[in-house]
Chains A and B, each alone.
Chain A
Amino acid sequence: AQSVTQLGSHVSVSEGALVLLRCNYSSSVPPYLFWYVQYPNQGLQLLLKYTTGATLVKGINGFEAEFKKSETSFHLTKPSAHMSDAAEYFCAVSDYTGGFKTIFGAGTRLFVKA
């Protein structure tokens, strides 16, 4: 069965600093991997996804993630944090053995200090 582990329930960075949110997954077959963002009192929206092809994936708002099969990781990065990036971020995985049901990690709340 698929699973996702997000390291760190809270991450705090200064405005302009590098953002790094960690995600490790478990899947017995090539997975689909996703990062979603949730702003306060809103639903989730897709930041980026990996299905096949290039392992470095670029998303919206300057975020990117790299699929590393050998490390079973899909960490999310952004070179320079902005105050508007403060939100909760969820890593998710799906694959065909699970009927493509999407399983989420516990989430990482990002705080950005001025």
Chain B
Amino acid sequence: NAGVTQTPKFRILKIGQSMTLQCTQDMNHNYMYWYRQDPGMGLKLIYYSVGAGITDKGEVPNGYNVSRSTTEDFPLRLELAAPSQTSVYFCASSYGGEKLFFGSGTQLSVL
């Protein structure tokens, strides 16, 4: 059972480039989330989804987009990368909004 799988683990982007962080889960969870973690700031919710076809903004959505075409996948898109988006990104899933299962994270640097 793989759980929550995130790719890539590391990425360096130039300012203005675009990329998609991939997230997939095999637990048939309805809820999926994207967080970013910055030192001393905890985890901030970027976007979340309560099921296929339904997404909603979290605390810090600006500069990001998401889609949820299937139960399993919840990709996060950065359209025009900025240095402020340098962070560690975590994808998570849950059943009914309870315990979160986290992926291993993506360390992103925008230079």
A-side interface residues toward B, CB under 8 Å?
A: 6, 9, 32, 34, 36, 42-46, 49, 51, 90, 92, 94, 96, 99-107
Complex CA gap A66/B45 in Å reads 25
C-beta contact mask, B56-87 vs A, less than 8 Å → 1, else 0? 10110000000000000000000000000000
- What is the distance, in angstroms, from A26's C-beta to the closest C-beta of chain B? 14
Complex CA gap A44/B98 in Å reads 14
Identify which of residues 7-60 in chain B touch chain A, using a CB-to-CB cut-off of 8 Å. 31, 33, 35, 40-45, 48, 50, 56, 58-59
> How many chain B residues touch A (Cβ–Cβ < 8 Å)?
26
How many pairs, one residue from A and one from B, have CB atoms within 8 Å of each other in the complex? 62
Between A and B, 6 residue pairs with Cβ closer than 8 Å are A9-B40, A43-B103, A46-B99, A102-B92, A102-B94, A107-B40
Q: Is there contact, CB below 8 Å, between A46 and B100?
A: yes
Contacting residue for A99 out of B43, B50, B59, CB 8 A:
B50
B-side interface residues toward A, CB under 8 Å?
A: 31, 33, 35, 40-45, 48, 50, 56, 58-59, 90, 92, 94, 96-100, 102-105
Which chain A positions have C-beta within 8 A of B59?
103
Complex CA gap A101/B48 in Å reads 7
Which chain B positions have C-beta within 8 A of A103?
45, 59
Contacting residue for B100 out of A99, A102, A105, A107, CB 8 A:
A102
Ordered nearest first, which 3 A-B pairs have the shortest CB separation? A100-B97, A43-B102, A106-B42
Which chain B positions have C-beta within 8 A of A90?
42-43
Complex CA gap A107/B35 in Å reads 14
Which chain B positions have C-beta within 8 A of A32?
97-98
- What is the distance, in angstroms, from B46's C-beta to the closest C-beta of chain A? 11
